[in-house]
Amino acid sequence: MTTHEQDTKTLELPWPFTGREDELDLVRRALTAGRPGIVVTGPAGRGKTRLVREAVRGLDCARVTGTPDTMGLRFAAFAHLLPDTVSLHGAVRLLSGVRLLVVDDAHLLDEASAALVHQLAAHGGTRLAVTATDGAAAPAAVSRLWTGELLPRLALPPLPREDTDRLLATAGLEPLTTGRLHLLCQGDLRLLRDLLAALHRSGALLAARAAADGRGAGRSRSPRPYVSAWPPSSTGPTPKSARHCTGSPSPSPCRSTWTDSTWTSSNAWSRTG
């Protein structure tokens, strides 16, 4: 039987990049020479940052990130790239040599940083890989990146069921459990990670794996083989929704309140092929 220690290692972060082949190719093509870059949008937890990180792996680039705590500070996102006192025109000139700029959480940029990103896109000398969260208030200069057609926009769709299954395969979960997790999370990989962590803390994942190994060895099926003790120990709260995701019979299926974006990777390429 597989040991618990080996099972635990399969849940360590970061998770392997799984699926998204079409989207990854699209972003990489957008960042090739002669193209302006791309904006990747989607709900929080959809995997925008990870997709862009994979797309620029091995490339020479500068990186900036918007944060809630620095939205009121001028050029806060670019503090590591610019001197303390600089004008917008001066900032554009100083960054003119940057060929690829990754801007994460652009909806959280301060106004000056947002204006700088917009100017860099307008000047065309710097390719931009930008992420922004759907539904979040963003500086006008950021939203104009795609509404003003400076950059094409990819609205990232949920991770498909088959890719979710592949991602969860290393955790030793059986198909019913992975299916319920997918239905519950609906592409929110952050929620999926949190649910797995909660199930792991409770011992539900180890119990499920042990039960699956027992059945594989020809042991008799238990009437409720995947049910474990709830609530979990005091190591941390477990989301209530996790109770129905360990393969045990449930009176009602898991449901999600997410509304999928009407955009897909096949029609989000609005300016360049």
Give tens-digit pLDDT for 5-60: 333 334 455 677 878 899 999 999 999 978 999 999 999 888 999 999 999 999 99
Mean pLDDT calculated for residue range 202-221: 54
| 27 neighbors 51 (Cβ within 8 angstroms) | yes
Which residues share a beta bridge with 41? Answer: 132, 155
What confidence score (pLDDT) does residue 209 get? 54
DSSP track, 144-213: HHHHTTSS-EEEPPPPPHHHHHHHHGGGT--HHHHHHHHHHHTT-HHHHHHHHHHHHHHTHHHHHHHHHH
Q: Can you tell me which residue has the tokens 């519950």?
A: 184
Q: Work out the number of other CB atoms within 10 angstroms of the CB of residue 43.
A: 22
Arithmetic mean of pLDDT, 158-175 = 78
pLDDT at 238 over 50: no
CB count, 10 Å around CB of 236? 10
| Residue 206, pLDDT score | 55
Summarised one tens digit per residue, pLDDT across range 241-268 is 444 454 444 333 333 333 333 333 434 4
Residue-level pLDDT at 183:
82
Per-residue model confidence (pLDDT) at position 211 = 55
Question: Is 131's pLDDT higher than 70?
Answer: yes
Sheet containing 62-65, strands listed edge to edge, beginning at the edge strand earlier in sequence: 62-65, 100-104, 127-133, 37-42, 153-155
Q: Count CA atoms closer than 13 A to 83's CA, side-chain side.
A: 8
Residues 6+ apart with CB under 8 A from 212: 172, 174, 225
pLDDT of res. 25: 96
Q: How many Cα neighbours within 13 Å face the side chain of 202?
A: 24
- Which pLDDT does position 212 carry in this prediction? 53
- The whole-number pLDDT of residue 101 equals 98
Q: pLDDT per residue over 173-184, tens digit each?
A: 777 777 888 888
**Contact, 102 vs 129, CB < 8 A?**
yes
Find out whether 49 and 104 touch, Cβ atoms under 8 Å: yes
